[in-house]
Structure 1
Amino acid sequence: MRFKDYYEILGVEPGAGEAEIKTAYRRLARKYHPDVSKEPGAEEQFKSVNEAYEALRDPQKRAAYDQLRARGYRPGDEVQPPPGGFGGGPGGFDFDEVFAGGGNGGFSDFFQELFGRRRGGFAGAGQPGPRPRGDGATRAKFAVPLEAIHRGDPVRVAVGGRSLEVRVPKGIRPGQAIRLAGQAPGGGDLLLEVEYAAHPQFEVDGRNIIHALAVAPWEAALGATISVPTLGGAVDLKIPADSEGGRKLRLRGRGLPGTGGAPAGDQIVELEILAPKANTEEEREAYRRMRDAFGDDWRRA
């Protein structure tokens, strides 16, 4: 397998903190999202950015990756499993991952070998990814897209070299498990423990969905109606005049579905005021007129 530099993909330094990594991921995911991007190779770039964030957002995955990177690998180098695996010997790190969508979430062989098998990341002979439990069932983590959680869609997963279709209960919570009778590698039941996959546009807070919305200064100042993505499709959101950065607007019932009679969550839209880049003389002149109109005292105001 070929080494991938996840820090380079996200454009951050190896010592970057969690917030910096998240910000870089959001920016690149918006740039390359296949639904909106006109960039060449946007779909592959989007997959690469998602994979890098999935590796670096989790402290255990990041620690395992950093140990490998410290051996001096560069992008494209052929990777050899370290003696004894990761973690300094037997036991090492224990990753039991099953990724939804296209069998493996579109992640590379490098990611799958590093994180998709147990005991140190690299697969050994006859070593399956999922872990047997004392009750005879086999448990694996199941990273599910938020859209599937919202709609209750079926998704395909790869387990033990087989592709399975899994019906995801609508509104299922992280930590809950889906049992597949007789589907474990080698027989027995398979328990898929649900976790929410990273999303380029949304974060989860309980049943609420958080979305950062970029607005132009004049939209914030004068008010505007802007199309906003939600898990159920785009909706129009009215931005009140004189809005400031950080203001939160609520779309009721647009979060994750409730279960057991609980109401659905909301979508919280947080405004980020961004100044568009002036690419033409006409646009630069528009900024000069704004400067002259507001003067030098606008900060105090």
Structure 2
Amino acid sequence: MARPRDFYEDLGVARTASQEEIQRAYRKLAREFHPDVNRSPDAEERFKDVSEAYSVLSDPEQRKRYDAFGADFRRVPEDVDPQTWARASRAGRAPAGAGAPTGGGFGDVGFEDLFDDIFAGRAGRAGHTGRGTGTGRYGGWGPMPGADQETEVELSVEEAYRGTRRSLAISGPEGTRNVEVSVPAGVTDGQRIRLAGQGGRGADGGQPGDLYLIVAIRPDSRYRVEGRDISMRLPLAPWEAALGTTVPLETPGGETKVKVPPGTSSGRRLRLRGRGLPNPRGRPGDLFAEVQITVPPSLSAEERRSFEQLAATSTFDPRGRS
């Protein structure tokens, strides 16, 4: 009899792998064996194996059952105790492919024999249809859930601020499909958005997987985004910085006013609280206007006289010399 598949081997990770390591391994292998990019005869089957392994190991509850019961984790009833299963396995009574430690051959013992032995006939009263038929509550694999999928969605800073809708082409073993998704306001770069039931289709009546959107905020020459905080330049004329003023500022959330205190130097950061990216679950980020003093590229005769008069009367030394 063929050796049961090992989902950890399918992904090339250790049994102690973290969720991040499992996700990285899946993304690498999915790109390598995706039927759209790999035309080798076994690529599609390998892609399906990788997708199934990821769908199980990325779900903490399914992974826990797989670690306890191995290849039979879908057929073992919810109320079976893993330690009891392990004891039966060591006694040579668990079906082949179980994840518990083994101490000898399993023989031809079926599920019903095992449950009769453990629960003194309780499994027989639960209503399975008979031994060896493969059609009862424990026969066959049963419904198989669809694989989780993920895709990157690139947004402008304004779209991240306000939210948006997108039509995405999602590729999977069943082909390419278009999915309409809503991106909520206030998402951050690298954030994962879970869309329940929008992933790969299940088999034999199994529930579909989930779709995860990975947010990538597009670089913008006007804004610099760090978490929920946004920084941008605020150009000022020398007299505005020296005398103080209130100037309009175009932000991702629309135009606002920023008050510039007198004596503001270039490089100073003026903080506008709560004007960064929104936060549906807490305090929004802040917006920082970074002052950049700009001089006129050319001076009129009157402007030149004013600057010359200022230079002649001012005692200010920007280099701090006494």
TM normalised by structure 1 equals: 0.49
TM normalised by structure 2 equals: 0.46
Larger radius of gyration: 2
